[in-house]
Amino acid sequence: MKTKLVLILIILLAALHLALVIPAIRHPERFRVSDSDQYVELATNLLKTGQYSGILYPGDDLSRPPVYPLFLALATVVFLDVRWASLLQILLTFVNCLLLYRIGMDLRSKPAGAAAVVIYLLGLNMAFESLNIMSETLTSFWLLLAVWTVLRFWLTRKERWLLLSGTALGLGALTRPILYPLFFIWILFLTVAWTWHQRKTVFQKETLRKLVVFAVGGLLITLLWQARNYIVNHDFSISNIGYHTLQDWIVASSIANVNSISRKDAVALIAGAPNPKLFMLEFIKGHPAVFIKDQVRGIIRTIISVNYPTWAYALTGNLPASTGVVVDLSFDIRKLFDQIRSGNAWVLVGMAAVLYDFLLYGLGIFASWRIFTRQHREVVSVLTLLMLITLAYMIVTPLAQGSGRFRIPVEPCLALMAGLALYIPGPKEY
């Protein structure tokens, strides 16, 4: 009976997610930001000319890796309009649900898998942000696929799973470059985990072989793209977006605050300096407190991930007032009640999202405590530690640029951690 009720709940939640696609199809302009236009242009030019390049946004072929534009091109070919990518992304979230449940099955805990699916589908941030024409949802699929396949390797010792895991991370890096450093973090983690598993302090040939298999899966495709960028743009990298993020957001935001100017003016100020890198370094050294404060505020915005004014505009076309309690971190609770009294019902949606976050992180912390303090299978503790490292990296890295959409790639992992609160430890079998 309980299983049927959970299944009915999952079906209802999935139906609600599909219903949210309707406004995305009818009003696609509400689900696009400036970065969306760059991805769409690359996809459009690829279909029209066969060339991966930007005209309105020259140089985007270097800053935007090819996997998401290819995804948009596929949506355009199949549906004749790029707006239908929102539907494909919602369908990808359903694939994530299948992966979450399969992970629970592989851990011999159906309740943990089912709970992860329900928690994932309950997320308001995921529900709204996944509709945007942006690369985060596709990235969440690659990342969760990498988690599942590395788990499959740990359970079966079949190296094809390891190859697939590395390939998934490589494709993820070519979707959002933030995953490229994570790929090497995983290599370091897996080295330590496998060495510890063998109960030997000496690096084994078997460990080296497994690392090579994993690395080949990711590096084979990423290095090919880097070679392309070197030939076309004389830059042997996956993307130059990291430097632009550092300059245009992470540092520029603090410069704007100190000088009481707009962020765009701060970007121009950096670009106009004789040595932009030295200028940024000197600014950070001169204003460390402001810089650190801005980075912490950005990280908190990513952790909380509540942007109900944007969600309201996407659905209704009207932009309600923001209290600033979460986005600006004012923490003035009186503003919440003032807005509710004024008829701004969307504040209640924001409050529901905050309550969801308390549930999400609370269950994740409880699950981690149980797994690391009680008898458990080795594979569960290794998987948990890998996800915790991944979550920390993905949430912290955007720094001052932090926002709700930057949590989308790890929403499935957060849901899985919360679902593991229902995991019942068993004997050490691995």
pLDDT per residue as tens digits for the range 197-231: 666 555 577 778 889 999 999 999 999 999 999 99
Would you state the structure tokens that stand for residue 146, as one six-digit string? 């990498």
Would you state the structure tokens that stand for residue 21, as one six-digit string? 């696609």
Q: Residue 260 region, left (φ>0) first, then alpha (ψ -120 to 50), else beta?
A: left
d(CA 412, CA 408): 8
Mean pLDDT check: name the lowest of 28-32, 65-69, 93-97: 28-32
Would you state the structure tokens that stand for residue 306, as one six-digit string? 């509540």
d(CA 339, CA 314): 20
pLDDT digits (tens, 9 = 90+) for 415-427: 999 999 998 754 4
d(CA 7, CA 387): 26
Using only C-alpha atoms, what is the Rg of the chain?
22
How many residues are recorded in the chain?
Answer: 430
d(CA 404, CA 314): 15
**How crowded is residue 371: how many other Cβ atoms within 10 Å of its Cβ?**
20
**pLDDT of 332:** 65
**pLDDT of 203:** 59
**pLDDT of 429:** 40
Would you state the structure tokens that stand for residue 367, as one six-digit string? 């699950």
Task: Give, in order, the Cα–Cα distances in Å from 210 to each of 99, 158, 163, 166, 359.
Answer: 23, 10, 9, 11, 37
Res. 408 pLDDT band, cuts 50 70 90: very high
Q: In 3D, which of 427, 423, 353 has the Cα closest to residue 114? A: 423
pLDDT digits (tens, 9 = 90+) for 273-286: 999 999 999 999 99
Please name the residue that has the structure tokens 């994570």: 182
pLDDT digits (tens, 9 = 90+) for 156-177: 989 999 999 999 999 999 999 9
- Say how many Å lie between the first and final Cα of the chain, rounded: 33
- Which burial class, exposed, middle or buried, applies to 341 when counting CB atoms under 10 A from its CB (0-12, 13-18, 19+)? exposed
Instruction: Confirm if 266 and 256 have CB atoms less than 8 A apart.
Output: yes
Would you state the structure tokens that stand for residue 173, as one six-digit string? 């890096």
Q: Does the structure show a pLDDT above 50 at 80? A: yes
**pLDDT of 325:** 66
pLDDT digits (tens, 9 = 90+) for 290-337: 999 999 999 999 999 888 888 989 988 888 877 666 666 666 677 776
Instruction: Confirm if 113 and 104 have CB atoms less than 8 A apart.
Output: yes
Would you state the structure tokens that stand for residue 177, as one six-digit string? 């470059």
Instruction: Confirm if 319 and 346 have CB atoms less than 8 A apart.
Output: no
Q: In 3D, which of 20, 25, 77, 23 has the Cα closest to residue 46? A: 77
User: What does the domain layout of the chain look like in residue ranges?
Assistant: 2-240+347-422
Top-ranked range on mean pLDDT: pick from 118-122, 188-192, 264-268: 118-122
**pLDDT of 127:** 94
**pLDDT of 33:** 83
Q: Does the structure show a pLDDT above 60 at 1? A: no
If DSSP states are collapsed to H, E and C, what string results for the chain? CHHHHHHHHHHHHHHHHHHCHHHHHHCHHHHCCHHHHHHHHHHHHHHHHCCCCCCCCCCHHHHCCCHHHHHHHHHHHHHCCHHHHHHHHHHHHHHHHHHHHHHHHHCCCHHHHHHHHHHHHHCHHHHHHCCCCCCHHHHHHHHHHHHHHHHHHHHHCCHHHHHHHHHHHHHHHCCCCCHHHHHHHHHHHHHHHHHHHCCCCCCCHHHHHHHHHHHHHHHHHHHHHHHHHHHHHCCCCCCCHHHHHHHHHHHHHHHHHHHCCCHHHHHHHHHCCCCHHHHHHHHHHHCHHHHHHHHHHHHHHHHHCCCHHHHHHHHHCCCCCCCCCCCCCCCCHHHHHHHHHCCCCHHHHHHHHHHHHHHHHHHHHHHHHHHHHCCCCHHHHHHHHHHHHHHHHHHHCCHHHCCHHHHHHHHHHHHHHHHHHHCCCCCCCC
266 contact partners, CB below 8 Å, separation of at least 6: 252, 253, 255, 256, 259
Q: Does the structure show a pLDDT above 90 at 351? A: no
Average pLDDT on 24-29 reads 94
Q: In 3D, which of 407, 416, 363 has the Cα closest to residue 387? A: 416
Asked whether the CA dihedral 24, 29, 33, 37 is positive or negative, the reply is: positive
**pLDDT of 327:** 62
* Average pLDDT for the chain: 90
